[in-house]
Amino acid sequence: MPDLAVVTGAAGGLGAAIAARLSADGFAVRGMDRADGDLTTEDGVAAAFAGLAAVRVLVHCAGITAGAPAHETSLRDWHAVLDTNLTSAFLCARAVLPGMMAAGRGVIVTIGSIHGRAHFPALPAYAASKAGLTAFTRQLAVDYGRYGIRAVTISPAWVRTPDTETRVADPDDLARLAETQRLGTPDDVAAAVSYVVSDAAALLTGTELVLDGGAGAVQTAALLRPGPRAKLGLPPLRETGEDAP
């Protein structure tokens, strides 16, 4: 009988790609989304997970974004983002942990974001939720490693999805920030999840995998290049010869 993997936020985008990849890997996949109930409440999570056999893998992919500076962010929007991105991860993890502990194995993967470490304008609730999600996942690794349970956050940069196309005027501008010169795809993230939940990643826990195409590692160095300098209105660097002082 195949192991059960639960994927939240599975209706589309990243969640759908992850669910399809895990199914291809041989898991019995149970996708969950808004239609299955409110995963931000105890009653909603209890109903969604009722009757499920022991879960081998939980991938928390459900998430929303609300963008505005802090002084323009309503308390309602703040709670909506934190509840969906962070509180629901806690509730879903709490639902599967007893079964994983009894089985002596399990993997919990949370889908974070580079916004949790490299903050972009006007996303205070989203940034806080993703940073908190990474910290929460590390805590799971610390508390439940002795039961054979691993916990890892996978944090993509911008990923090419229909949502990205509607919110960004030219997604290719974002692609040029990465050393790979392309945006990630849902399949890129799904491939990382596939590895993390596999036995090949047996020592991978309590950490964050950042899928940003190298952008975070070279942002400062990129300012030495003519293209990024011109885009930011910086003058070109003076060329020096071999005999320059």
Please tell me the distance from the alpha carbon of residue 166 to that of residue 1, in angstroms, as a whole number: 41
Please tell me the distance from the alpha carbon of residue 68 to that of residue 157, in angstroms, as a whole number: 19
From 106, 113, 119, select the one nearest 133 (Cα to Cα).
113
DSSP string, 27-60: -EEEEE-GGG--TTSHHHHHHHHTT---EEEEEE
Choosing from 126, 144, 147, 195, the catalytic residue is: 126
- The answer to whether the CB of 211 falls within 8 A of the CB of 158 is no
Assess whether 147 carries a catalytic annotation.
no
Please tell me the distance from the alpha carbon of residue 46 to that of residue 139, in angstroms, as a whole number: 23
B/e letters for 123-159, b = 16+ CB within 10 Å, e = fewer, are bbbbbbbbbbbbebbbebbeebeeeebbbbbbbbbbb
Residues labelled catalytic: 126
